[in-house]
A and B are shown apart, each in its own frame.
Chain A
Amino acid sequence: MGIKEVIETINRMQADGVIERYAIGGAVAATFYLEPIATLDVDVFVKFHTEPDSQMISPEPIFRYLRDRGCAMEGEHVVIAGWPIQFLPAGSALVQEALAKGVEKDVEGTPARVFTAEHLAAIALETGRAKDKARVLQFIEANAIDLDRLQEILTRHGLAGAWQQFERQFLK
């Protein structure tokens, strides 16, 4: 049991047509670029199928699919291979772009789609909690992001001001 099994299950969900596209975000995605970051759950951003005759997106098909395969619900999470998984919609333009531009990584033969390092840093900056700012610093200190690409993303999504403030606070 472990995260690799989680990734295999999500890949199967995609192959079975339950979700259109997914990308892992949060601390698990950051671990693809940095040192392992302790976390208690996995954030999976998904493009949901819309219900027929409805503009509403619903996670119900995901829950039904996983419940049918013996996964338990734990509050807002579905437990896969012992890990609570939170399936999240791409709620903002930035997250939609991150989902569209997610990259495929190889985990011992298993493909895993994750946000790019630059999108993870931009989302962390947008979220703006202390731990998110610390994560942006980790990306910078580890030289794990292309700063020009990050700037482009931030400008495109109206986060240039937040970046300037972050720079003043932590980098100058």
Chain B
Amino acid sequence: MKLDLTPILESKRTFRRRAAARPIAEKLRMLDALRERTLAIRGSSNPGPAKKDVTHKEHNTGTWKK
């Protein structure tokens, strides 16, 4: 018996389309909730944000570096 993934993938696409079409304020509130949930899952052992590799601040000079 083969599993047909087509309806599952279509259902996911529909869900994503509907989520994208929600009002922006609602989507931003969802981001707030997603962040809370992610932090709760991570637990208190690693509460900080992920390190970025774009730029960093030179703490002794207060200037930005790539």
Contacts and interface: CB of A to CB of B under 8 A. Distances in A.
A binds B: yes
Interface of A: 1-4, 27-28, 31-41, 56-60, 74-77, 83-84, 86, 88-89, 91, 105-108, 127, 141-142, 144
A83 B31 CA distance: 11
Contact of B48 (A3, A75, A108, A144): A75
Interface residues of B, number: 29
A75 B50 CA distance: 11
Contact of A3 (B31, B39, B50, B56): B31
A159 to B, nearest CB: 17
A22 to B, nearest CB: 15
Contact of B49 (A2, A31, A56, A74): A74
B29 to A, nearest CB: 6
7 A-B pairs with least C-beta separation: A35-B19, A38-B34, A2-B32, A36-B30, A108-B25, A41-B49, A40-B49
B66 interface: yes
Contact of A36 (B27, B48, B50, B57): B27
B20 A142 contact: yes
Contacts of A28: 28, 31
24 contacts: A3-B31, A3-B32, A31-B28, A32-B27, A34-B20, A35-B17, A36-B28, A36-B31, A36-B34, A40-B38, A57-B64, A58-B63, A74-B48, A74-B49, A76-B52, A83-B35, A84-B48, A86-B52, A89-B55, A91-B66, A105-B24, A106-B24, A107-B24, A141-B13
B49 to A, nearest CB: 4
B2 interface: no
B55 A38 contact: no
Contacts of B66: 91
B62 A59 contact: yes
